[in-house]
Structure 1
Amino acid sequence: MNIHIHADAQNTKNILTLIEEQGFSLPCNCHGAHRCNGARYSFDCSLIPKKPMDVSLPDTSDKIQSVSLEKMETSDGTADTLLIDLGTTTIAMAFIDKESGALRQCKTSANPQAHFGSDVISRIQAATHGNLSDLTDCIRKHIKKETALLCQMTHNDISAIRFCYIGGNTTMIHLLFGYDCTSLGHSPFTIKVPSPEPLSIGNCTVYTAPWISAFVGGDITAGLLSCHLPSSGENALFLDLGTNGEMVLNHKGKLYTAATAAGPAFEGNGLSCGCPGISGAISHVVLRSLFPSLRTINNAHPIGICGSGAISLCAELLRKHYVTSDGVLTEKFKTDGIVLSKSPDGKSITFLPEDLRSIQLAIAAIAAGIDILLAESGVSKKESFTLYLGGGFGFHLSIEDCQCIGLFSDLCISEIKVMGNTCLQGLYQWAVYERTPAIQNDCIPLNLGEHPDFQKTYLHHMTFPDIR
């Protein structure tokens, strides 16, 4: 799609800022500092236009910003409670009906802070270098706008919203409330302020799920509620395969928690032709005589490859021996990668060697985190586990593909439960059933970055499993 940029000789704003001011969000790890790697845009992100110009945005920009509603029950305009899952990459919002207590509808949108960086570290750095108020204003305006849109679409009056429940990682909540997050970005990674108390804004009371540590936030606290953890009766592993790779191991009623820098690749961000798990995203790949057979979400025309599609392709490359255990593509694909789809106008969706490396790094981070949690809890890999997968990511995921590439290490999994958006589900239980997510006393936080065995374990998992 094309948009028009208004600028003149006195303009001092870079093109990313001007695009965002028109309601669009483009991921940019360097915040306009001209240090992007693998960017998919033909303009320089630090460009400061001095005259009007037209900019053509990739299809995924429009797709991310367009409204995506997952029907739960049809809204009749009687909602009085708003739930918000404040993610690093994606924000999900839903209403609760005040009469029936039913969860009505869900709306997702891209987090507009993405142009400050795709992960929490880059946003902490942006905040500590004078952009805290910009980050706070950015997300507050976006939530206000998205709430108004959701009200409009569901025939609700925004003034009738009496309660709001928010879950998010520790950094996102700091940025929402304008807290100084400097201490979250360096060792010993301490939190200087307590979890926010209930806050009244007009007629609305805002509740925020408490965080567990600097690395594991209220979105995970809420998610554990949805999985009914802690539980003394089972070994269970809860995984949120998002940008921050949070994981919680339940063993004998104790919760061992950690987060690992998986990066945004599992969410389709940072891949050369990546996209979120939206309509048209390639979610499954089968290689037949080098020609890919694709499955897309909603069977729509392919627009890019999402995280589950990238995992599926990596597993296929391993099975067909087109990639070495070190993650090097065979000669045929070594330079130009794999062309997955080509449109009549010549545009192609390609999976490049650097995309494979991004997935490989994310896999190693998750698998190493699992191994450290097991070691610290004293649980053997031979013991059986129930695996809870959080996030919409899991709905399109092949467990066989995950095990093929070593994502879950070599954990003995007896049952896998794909939970969907566990944060919203947990917030719902908090709001309707008053199951307060106050479980910090049951948690044992682990700092993987400072664990003496993490680097060695991480490097071990950089090697793909041997497929005979």
Structure 2
Amino acid sequence: MPVITVINQNRIIPCPTGSNLMKILRDAGVFLEAPCSGLGTCGKCRVQVVSGKIPDPAPDEKRHLSADDLARGIRLSCMVQVMNDMSIKLQTHSKTTPVLTDGYLPDFYPDRLSDGFGIAVDLGTTTIAMSLVGLHSGREIGHASAINGQHRYGLDVLSRINWECMHGEEGIYELQSAVIDSINHMLEDLYRQFNILKTQINEIVISANCTMTHMLLGEDARGIGKAPYQPIFLSSQTRNAHQIGLNTGENTILYCLPQVSSYIGGDIVAGICACQLKQSAGNRLFLDIGTNGELVLSCNGKLISCSCAAGPALEGMNIQCGMRAAEGAIEDIQIQQGEVSLQTIQNSSPVGLCGSGILAAVRELNRNHYIKKNGAFLSPEALPDQDPRRKILHFIQKKKEVVLCHDPEIVITQNDIRQVQLAKGAILSGVTSLLNYAGISPDKLDEVIVAGQFGSHLPASSLTGTGLLPQELEDKIRYVGNTSKTGAYLALLSSSKRTEMETLAHEMEYLELSQMPNYQEIFLESLQFPQ
């Protein structure tokens, strides 16, 4: 039986001959970025094969790896079969990821106080944030956060749904086990840190999107990923936490917030409740931007929602030098006269570009006229010899790219621009369609509320400078943080807030953008960059 030696983790992993390298590493608990869930399309699961004979690279590998990469033994682990003993070095980054745990909290009356403790959870596709709450006082005693363990099955919900489609009941079980394990590790940390017993946990409240809620409960999510996009349930769910595998007392209650549709979930309902949009006068737009963009428009309390497939670019995926929002990720960029200034998470040395970084890069390239309105790069040869843009805009191996950093080399490619175009086109077309449906123009919006992890690293100028939002909204943007978790906290402590969320989910109108008049024309127009 061959063995794999992971040099930079000092580990030896045995495996059957012919095994897929990514699967073996994943099953052994070795972290690898795998946004495409091992389909060979993202190019992120890189390893360096130091010794051992392996098959020649497949065409998919050659599309992602340069001749220099291949010469150094760099391969995509999802495309490699293990035929004999081999030694490898991991190439992906496992630095810490800061998880947004705080969010706007309105005044409310806590009428569910009791003895014991409760847990409020924001179960996100990428990250999980948790609060330990003393039910006698209603105060947060501690908190924990972690990466959602389902990341090894893909970084977006559609990749994970596809895993269920490929693996059936086994896939459903694997995805449930991954997220249950993640939550249990967080619970155990809180138990140890605050010296409490699992039997003292009375209730856990989960705020999550529709897919994550299904996968947590072990329900079949495959219907969410294909027409007519039908989930098993939309209503709130109450279960026994211990019986689905959570490390709690035998009588601990698990409550999951209600959903509006397959793609407007309990996390959005939580945010709308926390921000009190139903009670707000005027016109207000709520945005939660990620792989899937969720939008809710409030016109004097009348709520209209839609969702759009922004794609993974805004979370740093499908970008040549992209990465998740972790330590060392570039989160903001300034370009002046061809000189680049970088701001990274935790002020660490740059490693790659997270979503806010790629959006900032495109903002700066657009502001400094490196790209045309249609997103195409200018030709360096067409610029005057002394034009400062020549410093970083290059034509290399028949491809145009902008070099942001040399050590390590971090670049923006034409494909990166196209990925951002698709994301911003999806979001802007959703905003435009919502406003058209309500019969109001952008200048009539009183406020734009941005929630979630992505918005926490995002200056307003990036939203408007790329055309993701109309320019006239830049001074109306307010960031509210993790309102998904604060919504779970409200539901944990307040019966009236729980009832309010049930009502919101039932009453909120949902628009299917693909069925909107002239949507295709709106989307194509939304792809253009403002200049």
Q: TM-score, normalised by structure 1?
A: 0.88
Residues 359, 462 of structure 2: 8 Å contact kept? yes
Secondary structure at the aligned position of 1:260 is classed as: strand
AA in 2 matched with 1:137: S
Determine the structure 2 residue equivalent to 1:339.
403
The one-letter code sitting in structure 2 at the alignment partner of 1:180 is D
Check conservation: 2:260, 2:506, Cα contact below 8 A. Answer: no
**Quick one: which of 258, 265, 275 aligns to 2:306?**
258
- The 3 A distance-change label for structure 1 pair 156 and 337 is farther
Query: Out of 140, 148, 162, which is 1:111 matched to?
Result: 148
Rounded Cα–Cα distance in structure 1 between residues aligned with 2:127 and 2:305: 22
Work out the CA distance in 2 between the residues paired with 1:110 and 1:16. Answer: 19
Q: Which residue of 1 aligns with 2:486?
A: 425
Residue deviations 1:399-428, cap 9 Å, x none? 122211111135646632201111011111
Instruction: Count matched residues.
Output: 455
Q: 1:39 aligns with which of 24, 36, 44?
A: 44
Q: How far has the Cα of 1:305 moved from its partner?
A: 1.8
The amino acid of 2:307's aligned partner reads A
| Distance across 1 between alignment mates of 2:305 and 2:136 | 37
Q: What SS class does the counterpart of residue 185 from structure 2 fall into? A: helix
Q: CA deviation at 1:110?
A: 2.3
- Picking from 415, 422, 444, the partner of 1:383 is 444
- Are the counterparts in 1 of residues 315 and 323 from structure 2 also a CA contact under 8 Å? yes
Q: Distance in 2 between matches of 1:221 and 1:6?
A: 46
Query: 2:69 maps to what in 1?
Result: none
Give 1:364's aligned residue. Answer: 425
Determine the structure 1 residue equivalent to 2:94: 61
Counterpart of 1:101 in structure 2 is: 138
Give the Cα separation in 2 of the matches to 1:113 and 1:171: 12
Aligned 8 A contact 2:99 2:129 in 1: no
Structure 2 contact 464–474 (Cα < 8 Å) conserved = no
* Offset from partner CA, 1:204-244 (integer Å, 9 cap, x none): 21110101101111111111111112135121111001111
Q: Could you say what secondary structure the match of 1:365 adopts?
A: helix
Q: Within 5 Å, give how 1:281-296 maps onto structure 2.
A: 281-296=329-344
Q: 2:9 aligns with which of 3, 19, 40?
A: 3
Percent identical residues: 31
Q: Which one has the largest radius of gyration?
A: 2
Unaligned residue ranges in structure 2 (runs of 5+)? 1-6, 47-73, 104-114, 243-249, 380-392
- Mean Cα deviation higher: 187-196 or 362-371: 187-196
Report the CA distance between 1:36 and its aligned residue: 1.5
- What TM-score, normalized by structure 2, do the two folds share? 0.79
Describe how 1:295-306 pairs up with structure 2 within 5 A. Answer: 295-306=343-354
Question: Where does residue 279 of structure 2 map in the other structure?
Answer: 231
Equivalent in the alignment of 1:19: 25
AA partner of residue 202 (structure 2): R
- Return 52-61 or 287-296, whichever deviates more: 52-61
Task: Provide the residue aligned with 2:292 in structure 1.
Answer: 244
Answer yes or no: is 1:168 the counterpart of 2:232: no
Change (3 A) 1:18 1:389: same
Q: Which of 216, 223, 228 is the matching residue for 1:183?
A: 223
CA distance in 2, matches of 1:336, 1:3: 37
Change (3 A) 1:441 1:239: same
Structure 2 vs 1, CA of residues 427 and 318 (structure 1 numbering), >3 Å: closer, same or farther? Answer: same
Contact preservation (8 Å) 2:121, 2:129: yes
Partners of 2:45 and 2:92 within 8 A in 1: no
1:275 is matched with: 323
Contact map agreement 2:239 2:253 (CA 8 A) in 1: yes
Cα deviation code 1:432-464 (max 9, x no counterpart):
233112112331111123334322211111110
Q: Where in structure 1 are there 5+ consecutive unaligned residues?
A: 73-77
Give the C-alpha shift of residue 326 in structure 1: 1.3
Question: What is residue 122 of structure 1 aligned with on the other side?
Answer: 159
Structure having the larger proportion of residues in helix: 2
Q: What does residue 75 of structure 1 align with?
A: none
Inter-partner Cα distance in structure 2 for 1:156 and 1:353: 54
Identify if the C-alpha distance between structure 1 residues 179 and 40 changes in structure 2 by more than 3 Å, giving closer, same or farther: closer
Please tell me whether the aligned partners of residues 258 and 446 of structure 1 are also in contact (alpha carbons under 8 angstroms). Answer: yes
Q: Secondary structure at the match of 2:121?
A: strand
- Cα separation, 1, equivalents of 2:102 and 2:434: 37
